[in-house]
Amino acid sequence: MSSTFDQVATIIAETCDIPRDTITPESHAIDDLGIDSLDFLDIAFAIDKAFGIKLPLEKWTQEVNDGKATTEQYFVLKNLSARIDELVAAKGAGA
């Protein structure tokens, strides 16, 4: 979990030029770090590549738009890291 967060935080810091020490597990990528949707595509690409997964951004966005999920569930970094761990585990189980 912590190593996933560390990797994600490093990706965000490098991709969006945000000081690494301001990025915490409680940070909300959009509300706290000010990352917009276009910048998040760069982050998603880096995460996809680093973890060998495909972040289901469209599904998440749809769930948020439909009121079935909150942005906190996917974009607070500790939660994003947990989702990544789940996707990595699911990929490993399916391999």
Partner 1 sequence: MQLEYFHLIDRIVDLNVGDKKIVVEAQVPKQSTIFEGHFPGYPLMPGVLLIESMAQASGWLLLGLLKFERMPILAAVKDAKVRGSVFPGELITIEASLVHEGSGYALTEAKIRVGGKLRANSTLTFTLIPFPNSDMRGYMNSVAERVGFPHQAIAHD
Per the CB < 8 A criterion, the answer to whether 22 and 58 are in contact is no
Smaller CB distance to partner 1: residue 14 or 45?
Answer: 45
Position among 1, 34, 36, 59 found at the interface with partner 1 (CB under 8 A) = 59
- Tell me, by CB under 8 A, how many residues bind partner 1: 14
Among 33, 55, 80, 84, binds partner 1 (CB under 8 A): 55
- Is 32 a residue that touches partner 1 (CB under 8 A)? no
Residue with tokens 């030029």: 17
Distance CA 79, CA 82 (A): 5
- Tell me which amino acid residue 19 is: P
80 CB-contact burial (10 Å; exposed 0-12 / middle 13-18 / buried 19+): buried
Question: Interface with partner 1 includes 58 (CB under 8 A)?
Answer: yes
Question: Can you tell me which of 3, 38, 92, 94 binds partner 1, judged by CB under 8 A?
Answer: 38
